[in-house]
Copies of this chain bind each other. A is one copy, B any other.
Amino acid sequence: MSDELNPYVNHNHGLCIQSALREAHDLCKRRNVRLTALREKVLEQIWQSHRPVGAYDILAQLTQGESRPAQPPTVYRALDFLQEQGLVHRIASINAYIGCSHPGKQHNGYFLICERCKITAELEHPEIDQSLKSCASDHGFTINKTRIELTGLCINCQNT
């Protein structure tokens, strides 16, 4: 992981946002699906930090300066789209959403969620995927989706 994308390292986050949006555009173009203005705004909001954000936080941001406040389905529909396209992940343990750090790639990400600062890193580990898969299949179980959420303390929050 380059430092530019490493949430634990001081970095130019503007570049994270830029590259996330660019990748999203490319991906949607390739797949011939529409990254509409709304969807892009939602994705951009999500990428404002490396912390998962709640749907209603996004909603509040969208509403900023608008004449009429946006409504929940507006956000949830955009989130559904973004999740379908693998651009965003839902973190179930805290009901929040985070940008995918390597969209397009086939992957089962897993998440390191800091309990203190909330910064969340997405990692991959194909061997673990494989272990889980084979373990499940020992029980005759076929996995469709893997969800791994690890909470604890990140490197910056250890000593406090």
Given the interface pairs A93-B147, A125-B135, A131-B125, the reply to whether A140 lies near B152 with Cβ below 8 Å is no
Contact among B8, B144, B149 for A140, CB-based, below 8 A: B8
Instruction: Judge whether A123 is part of the interface by a CB distance below 8 angstroms.
Output: yes
Instruction: Judge whether A151 is part of the interface by a CB distance below 8 angstroms.
Output: yes
A154 B140 Cβ-Cβ under 8 A: yes
Chain B residues whose C-beta falls within 8 Å of the C-beta of A93 in the assembled complex: 92, 147
Q: Which residue of B lies closest to A131 (CB)?
A: B128
Chain B residues whose C-beta falls within 8 Å of the C-beta of A144 in the assembled complex: 115, 151-153
Q: In the complex, A142 Cα to B123 Cα: how many Å?
A: 14
What's the number of copies of this chain in the assembled complex?
2
A121 B143 Cβ-Cβ under 8 A: no
Instruction: Judge whether A150 is part of the interface by a CB distance below 8 angstroms.
Output: yes
Q: A92-B92, A112-B141, A147-B147 are in contact. List 11 more A-B contacts (CB 8 A).
A: A112-B143, A114-B141, A121-B139, A123-B139, A125-B135, A131-B131, A141-B153, A141-B155, A143-B151, A143-B152, A147-B149
* 21 A-B contact pairs sorted by A residue (CB < 8 Å): A92-B93, A93-B147, A112-B143, A121-B141, A125-B131, A128-B128, A128-B131, A128-B135, A136-B150, A139-B155, A140-B154, A140-B158, A141-B155, A142-B153, A143-B150, A144-B151, A144-B153, A145-B150, A145-B151, A147-B148, A148-B148
Interface set of A (CB-CB < 8 Å, partner B): 8, 92-93, 110, 112, 114-115, 121, 123, 125, 127-128, 131-132, 135-136, 139-155, 158
